[in-house]
Amino acid sequence: MSVLDLARAHLRGVEPYRSARSLALEAEVFLDANESPRPLREGAQFEGLNRYPAPQPPALVREAARYYGVPAASVVVTRGADEGIDLLVRAFVEPVCEDVLIAPPTYGVYAIAARLHGAAVREAPLDAARGFAFDADAALKAARPGGVKIAFVCRPNNPTGTGVPLAAVERLAAGLAERALVAVDEAYLEFSGGSSAAELIARLPNVVVLKTLSKAWGLAGARVGFLLAAPELAALLQAVRAPYPISAPSARAAEAVFDAAGEALMRRSVAAIVAERARLSERLLRVPGVTRVLPSEANFLIAVFANKAAALDALRSRGIIARDRSAEPGLDGGVRITVGTPEENDRLLAVLEAARV
């Protein structure tokens, strides 16, 4: 059996749309794509914008292959990891009769993408009493009655900040081999220092990995991410994606940041955020009304408040927003706080300390 057999039957063998720019990126005169022959305004920000962009910017594909240690044929450049999630659901899950498995509390878009597509969501909840550790056996058990087509694993997990060992991903992927994909979302992996599940793909082709430039790489506004998969799966996803997912300004910004020089900058920024995460955590624990701060391997913390509504109100009244996660299972009173600059974190701490929530 090929891992391609997991795709929805009507997509197997589907031909990708051959857009003009996918056929010819280099020429002297472009009369093939019904574009305007010139931009209507002058200025660096408009240069070249009368032309369609490369469907998969070659420099980004090259850098992603190098940085993530996979063949170029395994890389799909996406409009952020969110587009990767949507692509996977659309390509692999049969609406109505197949399910997606998640381990709540986790990133909300997995369930939303599934429901928008008409698929059901099955849950293998993380156990708050065990520090929200991901339990591969619980996930396998929840997937045992057939029908689960994608199991999403978020490492580190949003919103709990919990890491997931590679061995747990491997166990899940081996258990679901030939039955379902394991989509490993590594949006925050740079903050945890763990090694990527991308190294499993060659052995376990039902593993796919979601990456993003929105977090450690500082490019959330550009909307650029990557989906890493076995080459035959990546080829299928290339046929399912939009013809031109990455706008030219986004590609330009990503190419300027996502390279070896940018990697050094990223690592310095991540080190500063990780140090600040430790300071913020320790200071939050001393704020009256904070009962707990969860350990985190990401760039955010969950602080549990005795009165989270009062804490959020106090912050909002001083122009600071944090994310209420208290409705999530096991996170009663939980507020997710992104690690900001030291000055921003100090402002947050000052408001909470003064509010005596």
Ligand X SMILES: Cc1ncc(COP(=O)(O)O)c(C=O)c1O
Residues touching ligand X: how many (CB under 6 A)? 12
Residue 80 binds to ligand X (criterion: CB under 6 A): yes
Residue 250 binds to ligand X (criterion: CB under 6 A): no
- From the list 184, 139, 136, 192, the residue with the least C-alpha distance to 162 is 192
Residue 220 binds to ligand X (criterion: CB under 6 A): yes
Site map 2..31 versus ligand X, x via CB under 6 A: ------------------------------
To ligand X, the closest distance from the beta carbon of 207 in angstroms equals: 16
Are the C-beta atoms of 76 and 234 separated by less than 8 Å?
Answer: yes
Closest to ligand X by CB, 207 vs 357, is 207
Closest to ligand X by CB, 83 vs 170, is 83
Residue 162 binds to ligand X (criterion: CB under 6 A): no
Closest to ligand X by CB, 20 vs 299, is 299
Using CA atoms, how far apart are residues 273 and 26, in angstroms rounded to an integer?
41
Cβ neighbours of 76 (radius 10 Å): 26
Residue 154 binds to ligand X (criterion: CB under 6 A): yes
- Report the SS3 class of residue 346: helix
To ligand X, the closest distance from the beta carbon of 283 in angstroms equals: 24
Give the contacts of 157 (CB within 8 A, at least 6 positions apart): 103, 105, 106, 107, 126, 132, 134, 163, 164, 298
Measured from each CB, the residue nearest to ligand X is: 80
Residue 217 binds to ligand X (criterion: CB under 6 A): no
Are the C-beta atoms of 80 and 224 separated by less than 8 Å?
Answer: yes
Residue 185 binds to ligand X (criterion: CB under 6 A): yes
Q: Give me the residue label for tokens 């140090």.
A: 275
- What per-residue string of b and e applies to 276-287 under the rule 16 or more CB within 10 Å gives b? bbeebbebbeeb
Binder to ligand X among 70, 87, 187, 233 (CB under 6 A)?
187
Residue 55 binds to ligand X (criterion: CB under 6 A): no
Percent helix, strand, coil in the chain, to 5, is 40, 15, 45
Using CA atoms, how far apart are residues 239 and 226, in angstroms rounded to an integer?
15
Binding segment toward ligand X, per CB under 6 A, in 44-52, 80-88, 313-321, 345-353? 80-88
Cβ neighbours of 319 (radius 10 Å): 8
Residue 278 binds to ligand X (criterion: CB under 6 A): no
Residue 212 binds to ligand X (criterion: CB under 6 A): yes
Binder to ligand X among 214, 238, 296, 338 (CB under 6 A)?
214
- The DSSP letter of residue 189 is G
Residue 107 binds to ligand X (criterion: CB under 6 A): yes
Closest to ligand X by CB, 3 vs 164, is 164
Binding site residues, ligand X, CB under 6 A: 80-82, 107, 154, 158, 185, 187, 212, 214, 220, 225
